[in-house]
Amino acid sequence: MAATSPPLPSSFQNRKKIFSNFTSSKPFSILSSDKKCSRFWCQIKSFENQPPNWSVEFLSGTEPIHLIQNSPSSSMSMAAASASDSAVKTVKKVCLFYCAETKALAERIAAESDAIEIRSINWRTFEDGFPNLFIPNAHGIRGQHVAFLASFSSPGVIFEQLSVIYALPKLFISSFTLVLPFFPTGTSERMEDEGDVATAFTLARILSNIPTSRGGPTSLVTFDIHALQERFYFGDNILPCFESGIPLLKNRLQQLPDSDNISIAFPDDGAWKRFHKQLQHFPTT
């Protein structure tokens, strides 16, 4: 027999064997000699060869311990409630932070799911122009899954966003995901002459040094990166996930009334190698 309850008073310690050896289905009672025991209740999970539908209740004073058999419907209700609680716990709640440029997009994303909670950041600057940043209610995101919707649209905004990106994982969060829709230096991924600087590798190294959270390395989500081999520019402390907006483009083109007359033109051979397989349903040039 296994039971969950507060520790028994000292006068009951010598009566544990009654519980552990009990296999009868008849009710029984035990009375405390000191009459000073507090009220407790526990559910007996199972007897030997018996279904788990019993509970024990003790009242203070002269009241005995009661062994009560629950009805089958009560057991089923408890099981259903337990299953419902488990389902609620499996829903992954995400705290979504954003920068000034992605505020509207973040609000649209949060409107699509009740599991996403919008969180804001105070983007301020000192008199000399350097960032003066603050994350409100930082204690409130402890143990939560956190995401940051970034936009590296210009060099002037990268530093302030990196400051927040580096700070969030250190707030004792369960996991951290960086959503960077556009990887801005992706086209500078190789050297054509000695002295060229592959800035795609530089940015990848910067992002690879994001601190790990309780859940492990940061997940980086970016869309339609210039070259798939840039995956190997990132270190082991970040997990790049390359997504694509091409399926959305295909669906939109197929909805057009003249979709049969559409041809896809690529600006160069590299673009054709990168995307032609995803657009093979359309004539290409």
- Strands 54-58 vs 65-69: parallel, antiparallel or unpaired: antiparallel
Of residues 190 and 80, more confidently modeled: 190
Q: Which of 15-19, 44-48, 266-270 has the highest mean pLDDT?
A: 266-270
User: So where are the chain's domains?
Assistant: 94-243, 249-278
pLDDT at 16: 45
Q: 43: which strand partners?
A: 55
pLDDT at 64: 55
pLDDT at 105: 96
The class of domain 94-243 in CATH terms is alpha beta
What pLDDT, in 10s, does the model give residues 173-195? 999 999 999 999 988 888 889 99
Q: What is the mean pLDDT of residues 24-50?
A: 49
pTM exceeds 0.85, yes or no: no
Range in 29-33, 52-56, 150-154 the model is least confident about: 29-33
Taking the C-alpha atoms of residue 161 and residue 210, their distance in angstroms, rounded to an integer, is: 12
What pLDDT, in 10s, does the model give residues 94-106? 999 999 999 999 9
Taking the C-alpha atoms of residue 7 and residue 10, their distance in angstroms, rounded to an integer, is: 9
Asked if 138 and 171 count as a contact pair (C-beta separation under 8 A), the reply is: yes
Residue 219, phi then psi, degrees to nearest 5: -95, 130
